[in-house]
Amino acid sequence: MQDINKNYSRLEFLPNEILLLIFQYFNAQYLFQYFYNLNSRFNILLQSANNLSLSLNTSHSNEIHRYDYFAPYIDILIIDGRIKINLNSFTKLRHLILLQPIDQLLKQLEINSLPNLEHFLNLQE
């Protein structure tokens, strides 16, 4: 009888370039939750990935403290609603979209310089 394991592919055997393309379709929260700390290869890939995005809305407000460990790798951040979050952790941030932000978040932008920020969109009601 043939070994069943030899008849299918494994995600870990895909080339880095393919994995990085796949990763772009995931919200960064889930990427890090499912793939980070699996092995050193996945850790390095996640840390070097470009265009990682994170979308937060008011249903995530109780989980904000969990984002600190992968915030430095986020390129695109979308915040929808009245969420309190510290933007200092998002050191790689290039795109920021705020939908109905709280004043505290806007004040952070006045104080903090996000050195890599290229695009900023603030949509108020």
Domain boundaries, the chain: 11-123
CA distances from 40 to 35, 71, 90, 104, 107 (A): 10, 19, 22, 37, 38
Per-residue pLDDT tens over the stretch 46-57: 999 988 999 888
What pLDDT does 61 receive?
A: 57
CA distances from 7 to 4, 10, 22, 73, 121 (A): 6, 10, 22, 35, 48
Amino acid found at 39: N
**pLDDT average, residue stretch 60-86:** 81
Helices and strands in the chain, H and E counts: 4, 4
Instruction: Kindly indicate the confidence band of residue 111, based on its pLDDT and cuts at 50, 70 and 90.
Output: confident
Roughly what angle, to the nearest 10 degrees, separates helices 28-35 and 40-48? 170
Instruction: Kindly indicate the confidence band of residue 62, based on its pLDDT and cuts at 50, 70 and 90.
Output: low
